[in-house]
Amino acid sequence: MNLAELPDLKLLQLFDLLYDVRSVTRVAEQLGQSQPTISIWLGRLREHLQDPLFIRTLGGMAPTPQADCADRSVPRDS
């Protein structure tokens, strides 16, 4: 799974925010987008990386093991 090969930078931003906040609605608010738009972007991300990445739970969106692995590869500001 290589996040560096994403076709659209907004998908990397989506992954990073969703991994941190675990809420599609909160990600939508932070990005100034609608919740359905974020869901569509998440679908594209899932398709590109061939993994569900996040599973809906009572506590929010829980990352899959592949998402945990991919998160370690996302560059962070120092």
In this prediction the pTM is 0.82
At 66, the pLDDT band (50, 70, 90 cuts) reads very high
Element (H, E) at 47: helix 35-49
pLDDT in tens, 7-57: 788 898 999 999 999 999 999 999 999 999 999 999 999 998 899 999 999
Task: Kindly tell me if the per-residue pLDDT of 60 is higher than 60.
Answer: yes
Alpha-carbon distance of 48 to 27, in angstroms, equals: 20
Q: Which residue has the higher pLDDT, 47 or 78?
A: 47
